[in-house]
Structure 1
Amino acid sequence: MTTTRSSNKTTGVSSRVSVKPTRHAQLRKLLARKSGASIAQIRQAFGWQPHTARAAISAQRKSGCLIVRSDTDKGSVYRIVEESGSQ
Structure 2
Amino acid sequence: MTKLTDTQTLILTRASARPGSLALPLPDGLHGAAAKMAIGRMIKLGLIEEVEANLRHKEPLWRETGDGHGTTLIATPEGLAAVGIDPVVVKTMAGLRDAKPEAIAASQRPGTKQARLIAMLQAEGGATIAEIAEATGWQHHSIRGAISGSLKKKLGLTVTSEKVDGRGRIYRLALSE
Which amino acid in the other structure matches residue 151 of structure 2?
Answer: Q
- Aligned in 2, Cα 1:47/1:71: closer, same or farther, shift over 3 Å? same
> Could you say which structure has the greater relative contact order, defined with CA pairs below 8 angstroms and 6 or more residues apart?
1
CA–CA distance in structure 1, aligned partners of residues 112 and 136 of structure 2: 11
Superposed CA RMSD in Å reads 1.8
Contact 2:133 2:140 in 1 (8 A): yes
Equivalence map 1:17-32=2 (5 Å) = 20-32=110-122
Offset of residue 21 of structure 1 = 2.1
Q: Which structure has the bigger radius of gyration?
A: 1
Name 1:55's counterpart in structure 2.
Answer: 145
Supply the distance in 2 between the matched residues of 1:75 and 1:61 (Cα, whole angstroms).
21
Question: TM-score, length-normalised on structure 2?
Answer: 0.35
As a proportion of its length, which structure holds more strand? 1
Inter-partner Cα distance in structure 2 for 1:61 and 1:78: 12
Structure with greater helix percent:
2
1:69 to 156, 161, 175: 161
- 1:45 and 2:138 matched: no
1:56 aligned partner, one-letter code: A
Structure 1 gap segments, 5+ residues each:
1-17
- Looking at structure 1, the residues matched to 110 and 160 of structure 2 have their Cα atoms a distance apart, in angstroms, of 27
Q: Which TM-score applies when normalising by structure 1? A: 0.68
The sequence identity of aligned pairs, in percent, is: 36
| TM superposition outliers: structure 1 runs of 4+ over 6 Å | none
Task: Say whether the 8 Å CA contact 2:126–2:170 is kept in structure 1.
Answer: yes
Quote how far apart the aligned CAs of 1:20 are: 4.3
**How many aligned residue pairs are there?**
67
Match of 2:173 among 72, 76, 80: 80
In structure 1, C-alpha distance between the alignment counterparts of 2:137 and 2:112, rounded to whole Å: 15
